[in-house]
Amino acid sequence: MTFALDTAAPNAEAPPANALTVEGLTTSIRIAGRWFDAVRDVSFTVGPRETLALVGESGCGKSLTALSIMGLLPAAVGRVSAGRIVVDGVDMTAADEPAREAMRGDRIGMIFQEPMTSLNPVLPIGFQIAESLIQHRGLSKRDARKRVVELMELVRIPAAEERLDAYPHQFSGGMRQRVMIAMALACSPRVLIADEPTTALDVTIQAQVLALLADLQKQVGLAVLLITHNLGVVASVADRVMVMYGGDVVESAPMRSFFKAPTHPYSEALLNAMPRVDRATALAPIPGQVPTLPDMPAGCRFQSRCPLRVDKCAERPPLVPMASDPAHAVRCWVRAGA
Amino acid sequence: MLRFVAKRLALAVPTLWAVLTLVFVLVRIVPGDPTIVILGDQASPAARAALRERLGLDQPLWSQYWDFMVQILHGDLGRSLVTNRPIITDVGAVLPFTIELTVAALVIGVVIGVPLGVMAARRRDGFADWFARIFSLAGLSFPAFVSGILLLICFAVQLRWFPVISTANASDPMERLRALVLPAFNLGLIMVAYVTRVTRSGMLKALGEDYIRTARAKGLPQRIVVWRHALRNVLIPIVTVIGLYLGVLIGNAVVTEIVFNRPGLGKLIVTALNQRDYALLQGLMVVSAFAIVVANILTDLTYGLVDPRVKTA
Ligand SMILES: Nc1ncnc2c1ncn2[C@@H]1O[C@H](COP(=O)(O)OP(=O)(O)O)[C@@H](O)[C@H]1O
Ligand SMILES: [Mg+2]
């Protein structure tokens, strides 16, 4: 389980130890005819059985990072403008569209935030789960159905066999998210991206779905990139944490050392804004909001909301490992090297 | 599904009753004494009284209404005032031609309109999109009799591909089909226009939905994403539009039949109007009302097929 910083250069010849490697990913979005970098120079790796949590407020570029990896950016307004994405040893950025299609749903799966709208309302859910098996594994419809029942049982959908031909509107939000998970895992991918999989669900259902994900991860050895803005979720399931702000990775650390010593002022602010049982003091919501892309300040993007701001912040700080813990890196002029 | 069908059929009964009542009232509030209209103003009072009695117009209104309803329930539309033949026989003889024409137009509308709309939405502002937009605008702005005459001049008179004088009665099925092509296209053009429009806008919306992203995340090829995941959802508005314009289609079928001199309800209506055969007219109105109610039922049943939320709700 190695942790690659900006500088890490994996060996292309060696068998892939990492299920997912992202190097220098920059994703641009077109707004009113101009292109803006919404994700800047993001690098990380996720190994088998590992969960990397990507956290930050909404509008920080988390979903765009995920969609870039999947090759699902909205074609007219988004593009990967730099970087390399390697999934299970296959360079997705160099691949053509048919090759990427062959990877999606087979070696890398994704589940989305909105279970209510992410399933096709006019197709039976059993068929929707079976589709990737038919597409990637060449299974007949009949064989696929058998496997779908197993998958539905795996994600603990009760009465799976009877519900094969049911439609999404006959399922609750939590059950639909289980269907999404079954769908993403149908072909036993090596990587799963979960973009806020529980945000739209009730608290009790959230816990069930997260426990299910963690369980399945252990069983099948998945590498999980978990996107969330809920630090409670991070604390319970993540191995490592990566904090994003305005498209930049501002802090990256093993889970324990992140919660023990959050270093970037934005990470501190996120933690202070989080309700906790072990703390009686009032919540301190972060003042202001993430600037829109055209309004991003040059240099450090957090400077407009940062209590520690100095003149140097007009220049973009690098992401550097801390002297005390080389696995813990931070992008801040003030806090770096501390 | 069976319960859904039964429910829908039960709902059709009051609709049909209301429409029949409307026909009854319409025929009777038309200004002018029908006996004068039929016999001319030179007719003797005795002749007029005899006709009144034959038509049952001497009875009180409620009893006329009762007789009218009972007759229709028995499948009897009365007799023509001119030929004295049962109206149901005359209608039955030409109805297949009108049905054949309407169904052919419907098929043309769907078979051309759906792919055109899909291609237009896939390449927004591309060639297919411009073609679809111009084509559907043209289809909607030509009245059926103008486009019919243009088609006749172009393909029947000039190119001689199709007969000018309808041979729809021919016993040779190929000849019958050949006679169907131009009128069906004339009628289908409007349907193509409507279907293209609704398919295009529905596809543009559907392709931006979350479930399309899910389908792509599964690694399905674009072809399947478009034709299975997006189009299946657009079938719902397509069926709605077809259902809404079926009435217009049946109306245009009448015009088309007249322009192309085809046998059918249209020609029968013209005959009835020319001969002031008011019993025949009333019968034709009842048949048209029936046709539209049946078309609506079929539309609703199709909903049950394309939208799972309808039949399981
Ligand atoms: N389709 C899009 N069109 C325009 N701007 C977009 C689009 N998608 C994302 N953005 C912008 O990119 C930034 C990052 O968005 P996103 O990755 O969705 O954030 P997150 O998932 O962290 O909430 C935001 O400023 C957002 O407004
Ligand atoms: Mg998001």
Flag if A118 and B211 touch (Cβ within 8 Å).
yes
Summarize chain A as % helix, strand, coil (round to 5).
Answer: 35, 20, 45
Specify the 3-state DSSP secondary structure of A132: helix
Which residue in B242, B240, B250 sits closest to B292, CA to CA? Answer: B250
Q: Give the tens place of pLDDT for each residue, A105-162.
A: 999 999 998 888 999 999 999 999 999 999 999 999 999 999 999 999 989 899 999 9
Q: Closest Cα to atom 23, ligand 1: which residue?
A: A58
Contact of B126 with chain A, judged by CB distance below 8 Å, is answered with no
Residue at token pair 């007789």: B67
Distance CA A230, CA A239 (A): 15
Contact of B33 with chain A, judged by CB distance below 8 Å, is answered with no
Which residue in A255, A251, A265, A254 sits closest to A318, CA to CA? Answer: A251
Structure tokens at A33: 């005819």
Residue-averaged pLDDT of chain A:
90
Q: What is the structure's pLDDT at A279?
A: 65
Alpha helix segments (H runs only) across chain B: 2-29, 34-39, 45-55, 61-73, 87-122, 127-141, 144-151, 173-206, 210-217, 222-224, 231-259, 265-274, 278-306, 308-312
Q: Closest Cα to atom 12, ligand 1: which residue?
A: A38
Of residues A208 and A101, the one with the higher pLDDT is: A101
Q: Is the Cβ–Cβ distance between A229 and A243 less than 8 Å?
A: no
User: CB under 8 Å to B154, separation ≥6 — which residues?
Assistant: none
Distance CA B135, CA B196 (A): 9
Q: Is the Cβ–Cβ distance between A71 and A108 less than 8 Å?
A: no
Ligand 1 centre and the CA of A59: distance in Å?
5
Distance CA A193, CA A227 (A): 8
Contacts of A167 in chain B (CB under 8 A): 308-309, 312
CA distances to A100, A139, B215 from B222, rounded to whole Å, are 12, 20, 9
* Ligand 1 mutation pick, A64, A112, A225, max ligand atoms within 8 A of CB: A64
Q: What is the structure's pLDDT at B59?
A: 84
Interface with B, mutate which of A63, A92, A112, A118 (most B CBs under 10 A)? A118
Interface with B, mutate which of A64, A131, A181 (most B CBs under 10 A)? A131
Contact of A199 with chain B, judged by CB distance below 8 Å, is answered with no
Distance CA A141, CA B79 (A): 58
**For residue A290, which ligand has an atom nearest its CA?**
1
Count CA atoms closer than 13 A to B298's CA, side-chain side. 12
Q: What is the structure's pLDDT at A10?
A: 43
User: A223-228 and A51-55 as β-strands: parallel, antiparallel, unpaired?
Assistant: parallel
Pocket of ligand 1 contains residue A60 by CB under 6 Å: yes
Ligand 2 centre and the CA of A66: distance in Å?
9
Structure tokens at B310: 């309808």
Q: Where are the domains of chain B?
A: 95-272
Structure tokens at A216: 């399945």
Distance CA B32, CA A234 (A): 85
Which residue in A181, A198, A188 sits closest to A125, CA to CA? Answer: A181
Ligand 1 centre and the CA of B268: distance in Å?
64
User: CB under 8 Å to B229, separation ≥6 — which residues?
Assistant: A120, A123, B206, B211, B212, B215, B220
- Return the number of other C-beta atoms located less than 10 Å from residue B243's C-beta: 17
Q: Give the tens place of pLDDT for each residue, A229-273.
A: 889 889 989 999 999 999 999 999 999 999 999 999 999 999 988
Give residue A5's pLDDT band: very low, low, confident or very high (50, 70, 90).
very low
Residue A42 phi, psi dihedral angles, 5° rounding? -95, 130
Q: What is the structure's pLDDT at B311?
A: 66
Q: Is the Cβ–Cβ distance between A78 and A90 less than 8 Å?
A: no
Pocket of ligand 1 contains residue A246 by CB under 6 Å: no
Q: Give the tens place of pLDDT for each residue, A177-235.
A: 999 999 999 999 999 999 999 888 888 888 888 888 888 888 888 999 999 988 988 99
- Cα Rg of chain B, angstroms: 24
Contacts of A76 in chain B (CB under 8 A): none
> Tell me, what's the ipTM?
0.88
Distance CA A55, CA A195 (A): 10
Distance of CA B142 to the CA centre of its chain: 18
Ligand 1 centre and the CA of A300: distance in Å?
19
Contact of B125 with chain A, judged by CB distance below 8 Å, is answered with no
Structure tokens at A153: 């049982």
Structure tokens at A203: 């608290």
Distance CA A103, CA A12 (A): 19
Q: Which domains does chain A have, with CATH numbers?
A: 20-238 (3.40.50.300)
Pocket of ligand 1 contains residue A193 by CB under 6 Å: no
Query: What CATH superfamily classification does B95-272 receive?
Result: MetI-like (1.10.3720.10)
Flag if A122 and B210 touch (Cβ within 8 Å).
no
Give residue A11's pLDDT band: very low, low, confident or very high (50, 70, 90).
very low
Structure tokens at B193: 């226009």
Structure tokens at B185: 């296209």
Q: Would you write out chain B's pLDDT as a tens digit for each of its 313 residues?
A: 778 788 888 888 888 888 889 888 887 777 667 777 777 778 888 888 888 887 777 888 889 899 889 988 888 888 888 888 999 999 999 999 999 999 999 999 999 999 999 999 988 888 888 888 888 888 777 777 788 888 888 887 887 888 777 777 777 787 788 888 889 999 998 899 999 999 999 999 999 999 999 999 999 999 999 999 999 999 999 999 998 888 888 888 888 998 888 889 988 988 888 887 888 888 888 888 888 888 888 888 888 888 888 865 4
Residue at token pair 């602010």: A269
Q: What is the mean pLDDT of residues A306-311?
A: 92
Q: Look up residue A139 and give its DSSP letter.
A: -
Structure tokens at B14: 């009051």
Q: Does pLDDT of A1 surpass 50?
A: no
- Return the number of other C-beta atoms located less than 10 Å from residue B119's C-beta: 20
Structure tokens at A199: 């945000």
Flag if A135 and B219 touch (Cβ within 8 Å).
yes
Residue at token pair 């707004």: A31
Query: pTM, whole model, 2 decimals?
Result: 0.85
Distance CA B148, CA A175 (A): 56
